Amino acid sequence: MILTYYQLSIFFLIFARFSGMVLISPFFSMKSLFSLAKVGLVFWVSILIMFVVPLPQTMPNSLFVYGFALLIELTIGLIIGFTANLIMMAIEFGGMLMDTQAGLSSASVLDPTSGKNAALLELMMKYLSIMLFLIINGHHMVLSAIFESFSIMPLGQPVDFSAGSQYLVSLGSALFMIGLKLAAPIILVIFIVDFSFGILNKVAEQVNVFQLGFQVKPTVAVIIFLGISPNFGAVLVEVIETVMDYLVNLLGFFVT
């Protein structure tokens, strides 16, 4: 079977969009997954998608124009992956706030999914969110979003990134507020503990409040975290499903 220039051009455009999504989306972008498996997934799914998505009638004859089209498709994939990854970023932000308030930010361990160091509560929040993301088939939702994008934004169609970028910024700010709300119980309790230590320091100056805080605050934070963790599941599932719904709507803002 001999592939034509048109077929190869279509394949690489689809490959570029799907690669952008895999590079940055949750679960698919984890460093613990084999790179060869990611490339194989992108390759075979791109071949399958070729037969079911709307295709342009012609392809650019200029290499420069085609390279620019590849860049646009890669950008669309990155936007889809980044939007889905906002879920994890918001949850990790909430965990980072918890660790900072509890004094656990210095007790960092290696996160094998990203290859970076992360604090304890942040890591627990991240693993919990990944587990729930897979349980509710969030990875299937991301794949569905990339498939739907070819109907909303066909290959070769002009794209306006300005309106969609503003929508994406507003969505990101809303998700980071969710991360702040997730950390709010621990922030509030640690504030009460710090306030109590301030009173204790005035009443009994011989007590080393600074050293006592290193022992009390992490313990209190972990107890509060374990107490509220059963409610995290429902909240995180709601956040993930909401973002997946917004993901398809986001693509409509880029259509000219």
The one-letter code for the residue type at 115 is G
Do the beta carbons of residue 74 and residue 13 sit within 8 Å? no
Do the beta carbons of residue 94 and residue 179 sit within 8 Å? yes
Q: Which residue has the higher pLDDT, 69 or 4?
A: 69
- pTM of the predicted model over 0.85: no
Query: Mapping DSSP to helix (H, G, I), strand (E, B) and coil, where does residue 153 land?
Result: coil
Binned at pLDDT 50, 70 and 90, residue 163 comes out as low
Please tell me the distance from the alpha carbon of residue 252 to that of residue 249, in angstroms, as a whole number.
Answer: 6
Binned at pLDDT 50, 70 and 90, residue 16 comes out as very high
pLDDT at 3: 67
- Output the average pLDDT for the chain: 80
At 16, list the tokens: 């570029």
Binned at pLDDT 50, 70 and 90, residue 59 comes out as confident
Q: How much of the chain, in percent, has pLDDT values that exceed 90?
A: 2
pLDDT at 48 over 80: yes
Please tell me the distance from the alpha carbon of residue 102 to that of residue 215, in angstroms, as a whole number.
Answer: 10
pLDDT at 119: 77
202 contact partners, CB below 8 Å, separation of at least 6: none
Range of the domain at 247: 5-252
Indicate the number of domains in the chain. Answer: 1
Q: How much of the chain, in percent, has pLDDT values that exceed 70?
A: 95
Among residues 151, 195, 196, 173, the alpha carbon closest in space to that of 53 is found at 151
Do the beta carbons of residue 109 and residue 120 sit within 8 Å? yes
Average pLDDT over residues 88-109: 79
Crossing angle, helix 138-152 and helix 209-252, to 10 degrees? Answer: 40
